[in-house]
Every structure is written in C-alpha cells, then in structure tokens.
Amino acid sequence: MTLDLHGIIPPLVSPFTAAEEPDLGALRAEVRYHLDLGVHGLCVTGSTGDGQMLSAEDSVALAAAAVEETAGRVPVIAGIIRDSTKEVIRYGKAIAATGVDALQVTPVHYLFQPDEDTTVEYYRRIAGETGKPIVIYNVIPYALIPATTVARVLNEVPEVVGVKQSGGNIHQLADLLHMAPEGGAVLTAVDDLLYPSYLLGARGAISATLTVVPELCLAQWDAVRRGDHQAALDLHNKQLPVWRAIDGPNMTARIKVALALQGRDGGHSLSPLTPVSAAEREALRAALVAADVKLA
C-alpha cells in the first residue's frame, strides 16, 4: 500500500459536550481551521484526541466527521489505542468503514510487552484484517518498540506505511533513521526536538504542538525545506515554551485551554481528567503570548 505521509500532520483533540458526547461541530471547525492553514494531513482519535478513553462508537463518529469535512484534501489517519489484537481489529474494522486513509496503532501496553516476532505479526494481522494502511504509534514508555523491531515491521509488512516515533526519545528516532527502513515514512513526535528531527531526516511530524500552534509548525517545516536554519531555530525557540506549558498530566485538558485562549473550540474534556488550574491557564497564556500567537 502506498500513502504519501509527510510534513505537518496535526493530531486533533476530540471535542466533547458537557454530557461527554462527541461534539462533531467543534471537530469539523478544527478540521477546517487546519486545512485552511495548509497542513499536509490530519490525525484523529490519537492520544491528543484521548484515544485511550474512546468507545468504538465515539471513535467512528469522530473519524467519519473528519473524513467528510476533509473531503479528500489531505490524508486522514485515525488512532487506535487498545490492549489486545482482537480489540484493535474490532475498532479498526469499524473505523475503516468511515474511509480514513490509515490507522495509527499503538503496541499493546498493559501490562506486558510482546517479543519481536509477535510484534511483527501483531501489525501484519491488523493490516490484513482491517484492509487499511497502518502507522505504528511508538509512544508507550514502558512498551517502547525497539528501533530494530520498528525497522523490521516497516520492511517486512507492506501494509505498514509509517511510524510515529514518540516516547520522548530522539535517540530511538536517530537509530531508526540511521537504519533507513524502506517500507514507510518515519515521522517524529518528539515535540521539543522537532527541528533536529527534521535535520536527521524525519519526513514530518504528528505531535501535539502542531495542533496548538500549527502556523508556527508549518512555518518551521517550510524553513527547513528551503534551508533557512536561522528561521527554523527561531521558530523552535517559540514552540518550546508552548510545549513545556502543555506537557504533563492531563495534557489534553491543557491543550483544549490553549485552543480556547486562541478562540478555538476544543470542547469539554472527559472524566476523570483534572480541570486546568488558574496557574496552568496563565502559564499557557504567557507561552502563547511569547510565541506571538494571536489570542482571542
């Protein structure tokens, strides 16, 4: 399977109503906002979208709304964060019917990590039974897939078209890029090191900072592509405090406040995420102001 994944691919929040139902109108508005800026793809129901908390029905509703609103302008990736092959496939088949372009799948992570052969077969089986291209979401700190295993999956399973290398570990990203797997795109999700990730050869990013300040991230991607490294570094120094302000416990709740400060509607958060404190809100505001982001 071929799918051109590159550039800035924001992972969208999942907006909810006060009754904890998907707010599809708010999601559609976010899709339009990012498309109008010129992003290269969109991701829904990942960790920035509280994917670990979503029912299959909610995941399908959010994915369907994103696909319909995007109308084929850019690829749409939908995340699945489950803890058994059976459950991933159940979600995957349902989400695939919405017309998403790919599924972003974490390894199983509670409580034990499968060995390398089992990991390869895990992704092979999911791809085969869902019929969709797969992006490995390598994010779980205590179940991080080694770079050698990721490279093997990319090279041995044609339906696996990329990896979102996260886990806060640029060393794993560096090892993976050094191996130069031919089977798919290596995308970064190391938010505080997006700029060096691109220099190492990452083909783009899927990470929370892209959702909060997409204009800065698009400008940085363009700067790297044209070789303007001073501009890219300046943008890194604007993005970094924003990431520091959203990173940490209840990150998706913080992200939604960061959107609200800009006049964007990320909706309510799901229980039991802790509400953002006044001090956290002020830190978010200060970081956005320092980054020259226009506030509402």
Which residues are tagged catalytic? Answer: 137, 164
Question: Which of these, 70, 79, 1, 81, lies nearest to 40 by C-alpha position?
Answer: 70
Q: Name residue, tokens 């979600």.
A: 91
Other Cβ atoms less than 10 A from the Cβ of 290: the count is 14
Question: Which of these, 1, 41, 42, 11, lies nearest to 124 by C-alpha position?
Answer: 1
> Which token pair is 283?
């830190």
Determine whether 256 is exposed, middle or buried from the number of CB atoms within 10 Å of its CB (0-12, 13-18, 19+). buried
Other Cβ atoms less than 10 A from the Cβ of 160: the count is 26
**Residue 145 labelled as part of a binding site:** no
Q: Specify which residues 165 forms β-bridges with.
A: 138, 188
**Residue 206 labelled as part of a binding site:** yes
Ordered strands of the 76-80 beta sheet? 7-8, 204-205, 185-188, 160-165, 134-138, 102-105, 76-80, 42-44
Core vs surface per residue 8-39: b (16+ CB within 10 A) or e: bbbbbbbbbeeeeebbbebbbbbbebbeeeeb
Amino acid at site 28:
R
For helices 229-246 and 278-290, the axis angle rounded to 10 degrees is 170
Contact indicator for 237, 292 with CB cutoff of 8 Å: no
Q: Which residues are annotated as a binding site for pyruvate?
A: 48, 206
Q: Which residues are annotated as a binding site?
A: 48, 206
